[in-house]
Amino acid sequence: MSILIKNAKILTQNLKREFLNGNILIEDDEIVEISKKSINTETDYKIDCKNKLILPGLINTHTHIPMTLLRGYSDDMILDKWLNDSIWPIESKLDKNSIEIGSKLGVLEMIASGTTTFLDMYFFEDTIGKVSKKIGIRAFLGFALIDNGTPEYSSNELIIKCENFVRRWKNNDLIKPAIAPHAVYTCGPELLKKTYDISNKYNTIIHTHCSETRNEVYEVKKKYGLRPIKQLEKYGLINDKMILAHCGWITKNEIQDITKHGAKISHCPISNMKIGSGGYAPIPEMIDSNIVVSLGTDGAASNNTLDMFETMKFCALIHKQHRWDPEILPSQSVLDFATIQGAKALKIDQYVGSIEVGKKADIIIIDLNKPHLTPKHDYVSHIVYAVKGSDVDTTIVNGKPIMLENKFLRLDEQKILDDAELCAKNLTSKL
């Protein structure tokens, strides 16, 4: 397949963060030419981008895709009560069918709002993988580990199932397996040791919730004598394969530990604010320490969307407000978190995260011909502060258009919405 993108305004996100006016030629999965001069060649698709902005596909490094089914189901609760009284009882009723429906809804939403890669953590990841593969989105699937077992597997079979899962997906092109111990308050030392062993054996990404609330830090310290970062470090899990979600309650010493071992961060400002976790991930200090910071929406139950443009805006705003300093986090840094830094966190920056010749064609196109995007003084400012996910009109992953000028080519949008509505009603009415 080949695609010619013409007359494009391109935020490349390359090393020099160049902005270009020009044309992009995609052949198969790769960007083969970027030129200021017109490219005259026959292609399967030609997209005229007059009044449109091109940027790399966005990368969401923390979510739980099937939780789209619980969007808006129970809001305005503290985390412990929310999990114990509301979320976990419903999750215990999930099966492959509901996971498939919720995953289709989640992937549809991501494609519609410009996300081309996501890192998930959930149960039934094989089902999420099949949905993602069929639609053609790039996915890292975190097989969830919890001491008490999951709705899919008992605690006795979790480890062997996890290893089998990693083996099944490790050679796939777009879909990669990851290991996701839920958190140190739900995963004891034995499980953490096993996590290390499997990730080491198969060289997979590791993903966990860490220091999300003050109560979590307090309880972990009381139980193990160590704060969550030190507890993870004790089992070798603060390393360059680890992506830590949240980190709202961490210290300067913990920033040093993260830096020393090269672990990465998935910052989830909207989820933290919605849960009212009170902690502010020390993102400016992390940047000063050269820690790779990326962005996550978290699940749709605690956000309530998977719109990475919203997450970028909240990220920029929360730190300015917290530090009384509008200069603390410029919009270019925030755009980096959602693109090239996300790719670095997942160790795929040699393939994606920027628009450059030789990279995979993960590209999104934004329609700028809108009242809220006029006038156009600064495109990076627009991306972070003004663009909405619904302004994305084309999403290309690995050289294949999945949404082209607001039409889904590989998805039956209405059926996905109808199925999800029905499935969500059935799930919640079972309680």
- Site residues (CB under 5 A) for Zn ion? 298
Is the four-CA dihedral 416, 408, 172, 204 of positive or negative sign? Answer: negative
Instruction: Find the shortest distance in angstroms from Cβ 415 to Zn ion.
Output: 28
Instruction: Find the shortest distance in angstroms from Cβ 142 to Zn ion.
Output: 10
Instruction: Find the shortest distance in angstroms from Cβ 214 to Zn ion.
Output: 17
Comparison of 216 and 298: residue with beta carbon closer to Zn ion: 298
Comparison of 14 and 271: residue with beta carbon closer to Zn ion: 271
Task: Give the whole-angstrom CA distance, residue 164 versus residue 143.
Answer: 11
Task: Give the whole-angstrom CA distance, residue 400 versus residue 294.
Answer: 25
Comparison of 79 and 334: residue with beta carbon closer to Zn ion: 79
Q: Do 367 and 390 contact (CB within 8 A), yes or no? A: no
Q: Do 351 and 30 contact (CB within 8 A), yes or no? A: no
Instruction: Find the shortest distance in angstroms from Cβ 91 to Zn ion.
Output: 12
Instruction: Find the shortest distance in angstroms from Cβ 77 to Zn ion.
Output: 15
Task: Give the whole-angstrom CA distance, residue 175 versus residue 352.
Answer: 14
Task: Give the whole-angstrom CA distance, residue 342 versus residue 55.
Answer: 14
Comparison of 180 and 191: residue with beta carbon closer to Zn ion: 180
Instruction: Find the shortest distance in angstroms from Cβ 271 to Zn ion.
Output: 7
Instruction: Find the shortest distance in angstroms from Cβ 299 to Zn ion.
Output: 6
Q: SS3 of 158, please? A: helix
Task: Give the whole-angstrom CA distance, residue 279 versus residue 228.
Answer: 15
Comparison of 9 and 274: residue with beta carbon closer to Zn ion: 274
Helix (H) or strand (E) holding 4: strand 2-11
Comparison of 62 and 359: residue with beta carbon closer to Zn ion: 62
Angle (CA) 101-144-416 rounded to 5° is: 10
Comparison of 63 and 333: residue with beta carbon closer to Zn ion: 63
Task: Give the whole-angstrom CA distance, residue 281 versus residue 259.
Answer: 15
Residue bearing tokens 């020393």: 260
DSSP state of 213: S
Q: Tell me which residue has its CB nearest to Zn ion.
A: 298
